[in-house]
Structure 1
Amino acid sequence: MAEKLLEVESLHVEFPGRGFRAKPHEVLHGVSLTIDDGEVLGLVGESGSGKTTIGRAILGLVKASGGEIRFQGENITHVGPRRRRELARDIQVVFQDPYSSLNPALTVGDILSEPLVIQGSTTRDARARVKALLDQVGLPADAAERLPREFSGGQRQRVAIARALAPQPKLIVCDEPVSALDLSTQALVLKLLIDIQRETGVAFLFISHDLAVVRHISHRVAVIYQGEIVETGPAEIVTSRPEHSYSRRLLLAAPVADPIEQRRRREERKRLAENGSMETGAGVR
């Protein structure tokens, strides 16, 4: 039986209210989930559901107001800056927009080698690791001498993936990593992530608003709606025979080539909304 790599238990997150004396707004309402060693957990929900907040809480980018986050059994909910920097070796992230997440003033080689040198690698070892990383994500060796702006969006995301892989982490939080890419590039980057996961055994928390995308990469899927996990299960079941009405709505939102089937799905989504299964007008972005 696989060991629990990450355990999120009854997680609450509040954001300050807008305006004078405004009450805090609770974004997460007691969220619980787990990720095993080497597992890909897909976390899917519409914009504003709280899925990105979960990832940011795990990374220590937002403060939890309640609950616990445990990594390899250690409570990391409120660790200090020094321990958080140490955890960065084991918990990495790939953000949605690769351009804004990469330092535009550094070459790709410097971007990839910087964390390695900080961790004590020699310059020679760092260069060798950079070359291996570029090969692993399908970029040529001379990419190390170029700046991020010289690459396409898909290539920049490959650089971001290589940077996340550099310290050989145990978990990578993938926050909408393909949503900013066109469909053909999405498919290539998804295949790359699947291949990397199988080769290295790194675990992923794969965050997306697209149930169809999550289906291809995840072992299990958790569906989040208005700050609460409403369904969790094997990816094959949740993405084809979901139980919760919101999960069904996400499934029906996926486009299909058959116009008759597309019309049937649209009518079924409308019926779910009219029956009050969820808020009228809710949908995926």
Structure 2
Amino acid sequence: MNALLTVEDLHVSFPGKGWRAPRVEVLRGVSLDIEPGQTLGLVGESGSGKTTIGRAILGLVPIQSGTVTFAGERLDQVGRGRRRQLSRDLQVIFQDPYTSLNPSRTIGDTLSEPLLGQGRSAHEARQRVGGLLDRVHLPADAAGRLPREFSGGQRQRVAIARALAIDPRLIVCDEPVSALDLTTQKTVLDLLLEIQQQTGVAYLFVSHDLAVVRFMSHRIAVIHHGQIVENGDAASVTAQPQHPYSRGLLRAARRFQLNSSSER
């Protein structure tokens, strides 16, 4: 099967702090790929560069060198207009459900926006919003309510619905459950798995938590100081990690009462 997303020898650097400070290299030759319908878990500690990979794929940070290819098209070579067109197939779920939604807009307006932007009529958008709310197990009257009326887990379901609105092929999930309590994390993760089974969407699942990544992923890439140090089948990486850093993550992983990803 051909990869849906391929990242090859990706380098990203940011300006250093202070006058004449040298640039800081955040990603150093990162390569990875994701097949259609597959979840690649990207795990590493804070500052490892994992979020930067997702942002580079989405075009939110500049790339110094390397290639990002999505569905056969070089994303690192397309302009802003084409990027907007590709947003139909490439979406994101951010970490914080409290800040990722506009507090002054109803849920219905938030979910309708990408649909109207794709040329759907207001009637078609309303119908689609009803289906999206049902898919993420929220009541139909949620469309007329504001984000502040929902819990953190419910807000993250709204964020998931927004990402699904225009039927993407790949969703970058950037620490999507780290701001939630353990019980709510389990609910949201189960929902993401259910949606993947129903739609065939692929995920790049970014997290610092190896236990959560194992539950979600078919394959796992471990990142340390801007480099992928281990990449393989989820069960193998988490059961018998080869790199010392991966073994350290495994020892540090908290107990998370979920089934093993080897059952996926």
TM class, shorter-chain normalised? Answer: over 0.9
2:226 alignment counterpart: 227
Matched position secondary structure for 1:99: coil
Please, what is the CA RMSD of the aligned residues?
A: 0.9
Matched position secondary structure for 1:98: coil
2:247 alignment counterpart: 248
Matched position secondary structure for 1:249: helix
1:104-183 aligned within 5 A: 104-183=103-182
Structure number with bigger Rg = 1
What is the TM-score normalised by the length of structure 2?
A: 0.95
1:279 alignment counterpart: none
1:90 alignment counterpart: 89
The one-letter code of the counterpart of 2:11 is H
The one-letter code of the counterpart of 1:34 is D
Provide Cα deviations, 1:104-137, integer angstroms capped at 9, x if missing partner. 1110000001110110111111111100000000
Q: Which segments of 5 or more consecutive residues in structure 1 lack a partner in the other structure? A: 258-285
What is the TM-score normalised by the length of structure 1?
A: 0.88
How many residue pairs align between the two structures?
256
The runs of 4+ residues in structure 1 deviating greater than 3 Å are: none
Asked if the contact 2:211/2:254 (under 8 Å) is kept, the reply is no
Give the deviation of 1:166 after TM superposition: 0.2
1:23 alignment counterpart: 22
Q: Distance in 2 between matches of 1:183 and 1:241?
A: 26
Matched position secondary structure for 1:77: helix
1:103 alignment counterpart: 102
Matched position secondary structure for 1:101: coil
Give the deviation of 1:78 after TM superposition: 3.7
2:236 alignment counterpart: 237
Aligned CA distance change for structure 1 residues 198 and 25 (closer, same or farther; 3 Å): same
Provide Cα deviations, 1:163-211, integer angstroms capped at 9, x if missing partner. 0000100000000000000000000000000100111000000000000
Give the deviation of 1:256 after TM superposition: 4.2
Q: Distance in 2 between matches of 1:256 and 1:5?
A: 32
Matched position secondary structure for 2:92: strand
1:34 alignment counterpart: 33
Give the fraction of aligned pairs with identical amino acids, expressed as a percent: 67
Q: Distance in 2 between matches of 1:152 and 1:256?
A: 24
